[in-house]
Amino acid sequence: MSTNTKNQTNRILRYLRTGRGITPLSALSRFGCMRLAARIEELRDAGIRINSRMMQRNGRRFACYSLA
């Protein structure tokens, strides 16, 4: 895992710990993360419980992740 990837994962975790949810679009705009699902998988592999909820807006489906 590259330093940038680790940094993104840590920043996403800190964001989730504020109680907010994160979507792929918000991860891209806030953290420059184009692979949010991969970062979420890394967090889950580290034992962090994360909920995922499917949403739909403007005919597009996407996941919203939050801490369990």
Domain range annotation of the chain:
3-67
Which DSSP helix (H) or strand (E) runs through 62?
strand 60-67
In the structure encoding, which two tokens stand for residue 53, read together? 């909820």
pLDDT (0 to 100) of residue 3: 79
Residue 63's alpha-carbon distances to 3, 4, 29, 44, 68, in angstroms, are 25, 23, 16, 15, 15
CATH code of the domain occupying 3-67: 1.10.10.10
Whether 54 contacts 61, CB under 8 Å: yes
Query: pLDDT averaged over the chain?
Result: 95
Whether 27 contacts 12, CB under 8 Å: yes
Q: Using 50, 70 and 90 to split pLDDT, how confident is the model at 11?
A: very high
Residue 22 pLDDT greater than 80, yes or no: yes
52 against 2, higher pLDDT = 52
